[in-house]
Amino acid sequence: MQSLLVLGRQPELGLAELESLYDADKLRAVGGKAVVVDVDPCMLAFDRLGGSVKFCKLLTTLDTTDWKQVEKFLLQVSPGHSERMPDGKMQLGLSVIGLEVSLGKLESTGLTLKKVIRKTGRNVRLIPNKEKELSSAQVLHNHLTGPTGWELVFIKDNEKTIVAQTVKVQDIDSYTKRDRGRPKRDAKVGMLPPKLAQTIINLAVGRLPEDKLESICDIPAGQPIPKPLLDKSIFDPFCGTGVILQEALLMGYDAYGSDLDQRMVDYTQENIDWLKAWYEFETGFKVEQADATAAQWDVPIDFVATETYLGRPFTAPPSPDILEQTVSDCNLIIKKFLQNISKQIKPGTRLCLAVPAWQTRSGQFRQLPLIDQMSDLGYNQVSFEHAGATDLIYHRTDQIVARQLLVIIRK
């Protein structure tokens, strides 16, 4: 009943997301970039996990990490497996996580395996490795999860090797359409990736009842989910161009948003209208102009998922004076927002905020002062067993303004 997920570029974000949905004791991190999930595969709503890039079924575990022994096993079992696959040209790919094997040796193993399979009379194409792990794009575009596709994933697990087969991969084409295909985008307010928006929503929601998870896990993202199935709303009070709202709608939630800037409200409405032309959903939607630090919202708020005010964009580390002023401005706005919304949500309401964190010249991150004041503001900060607070900073190497994911619960 176990499955294996390969995580994204920042594995801790994916671990925190999974921990929110399935609890810490259901997870076992392996290989530095994967996790064994002790959950019925039918309960894994993979298409709605922003931090997991591959969904694999466990095949076996080998009592070795020596690649020569792994290769020996592979050459023994592959001919029999290939004969049981449907007719047609076979697509073969190999990925390695955590094991000590060179790219050249991996290529050599693949070519040897190709020869062995061809001796059974099958035509087979080997997908070349640019890295030791095949990318989502390579798996998707070479149909490695199709009837005649076979991507084997080998993951170091202490002194053993897990062997798994990829059965699903993130639909990067759909993500790209939902990101770059929208009619309204604005780099000045930040361009939140749809997969990160999914993670923020899942961190805000936490655990869903098992009957809900089982019902939605086989519904691809963007396909209609019956409204009564979830019957919960996601609120984004800094909605910008509406990325979190669009992902919430596709994940089966009602979506309610507001923004201080009427132009952003108009952009969001146009983007959601565009979304309706491409995808089907039966959930409710509303967006309005409002100041998040002072507004009185008129709908019940189940969960809050938002990217707050990130301050000035920087392409290089700012001077200490400018950084201090920026930190102070962001801290004040977000603090006022938290004070305002606390009076309008019930105790126990869960929030996930993407707040700014600034990468300094030393490579460290400057965080908002209010993070250490959550209790005084009336919130408890959620901690994770599989990820520390500083692990939940979404960033790239050259990025100055990062997003720190802050998960809190109203006292």
Domain with 94 in it: what CATH number? 3.30.2130
Do 293 and 145 sit in the same domain of this protein?
no
Look at the alpha carbons of 54, 58, 64, 69 in this order and tell me if their dihedral is positive or negative: negative
User: Last residue of some domain: 169, 192, 215?
Assistant: 169
Q: Are residues 101 and 141 in the same domain?
A: yes
What is the 3-state composition of the chain as percent helix, strand, coil, each rounded to the nearest 5?
Answer: 35, 25, 40
365's enclosing H/E stretch is strand 365-366
Q: Which residues contact 298 (CB under 8 A, 6 or more apart)?
A: none
Residues 197 and 258 in one domain: yes
For residues 382 and 270, membership in a common domain is answered with: yes
Count up the domains in the chain and report the number. Answer: 2
Burial grade of 309 (CB within 10 A; 0-12, 13-18, 19 or more): buried
> What distance in Å separates the CA atoms of residue 245 and residue 77, rounded to the nearest whole number?
47
Quick one: 160 and 178 in the same domain?
no
Per the structure, the complete domain to which residue 373 belongs is given by: 174-410
| H helix count then E strand count, the chain | 11, 17
Q: What is the CATH number of the domain that holds 402?
A: 3.40.50.150
Which residues, other chains included, contact 191 with Cβ-Cβ below 8 Å and sequence gap of 6+?
A: 179, 185, 243
- For 296, other C-beta atoms within 10 Å of its C-beta total 8
Q: Count of alpha carbons within 13 Å of 66, Cβ hemisphere only? A: 6
Radius of gyration of the chain (CA): 23
Secondary structure E strands in 98-225: 124-126, 149-157, 160-169
339 with 386: CB under 8 angstroms? no
pLDDT in the model for residue 300:
82
User: Within this chain, do residues 245 and 259 fall inside the same structural domain, yes or no?
Assistant: yes
Give kind and range of the element (H or E) at residue 330.
helix 320-342
Taking each helix axis from N to C end, the angle separating 11-22 and 194-205, rounded to the nearest 10 degrees, works out to 40
* Domain finish residue from 169, 200, 220: 169
Query: Could you tell me if 201 and 234 are in contact, meaning their C-beta atoms sit under 8 angstroms apart?
Result: yes
pLDDT of residue 224: 61
- 9-44 exposure pattern, b = at least 16 Cβ within 10 A, e = fewer: ebbbbbbbbbbbbbeeebbebbbebbbbbebebebb
Positive/negative CA dihedral, 147, 149, 152, 153? negative
158 and 182 assigned to the same domain: no
Residues 157 and 243 in one domain: no
The Cα 162–Cα 164 span in angstroms is 6
Q: Are residues 275 and 311 in the same domain?
A: yes
Does residue 178 sit in the same domain as residue 163? no
Same domain assignment for residues 385 and 249: yes
Q: Select from 110, 136, 169 the last residue of a domain.
A: 169
Q: Are residues 236 and 97 part of one domain?
A: no
pLDDT computed for residue 190 by the predictor? 67
- Compute CA 279 distance to the chain's CA centroid, rounded to the nearest angstrom: 20
Please say whether the beta carbons of 170 and 51 come within 8 A.
no
Q: Tens of pLDDT along the chain (411 residues)?
A: 789 999 999 999 999 999 999 989 999 999 999 999 998 887 788 888 999 999 999 999 999 999 999 999 999 999 888 888 899 999 999 999 999 999 999 999 999 999 999 998 899 999 999 999 999 999 999 999 999 999 999 999 999 999 999 999 999 998 999 999 899 988 776 689 999 999 999 999 998 777 777 777 767 655 666 666 678 999 999 999 999 999 999 988 999 999 999 999 999 999 999 998 888 777 889 999 999 999 999 878 999 999 999 999 898 889 999 999 999 999 999 999 999 999 999 999 999 999 999 998 888 899 999 999 999 999 999 999 999 988 999 998 889 999 999 999 999
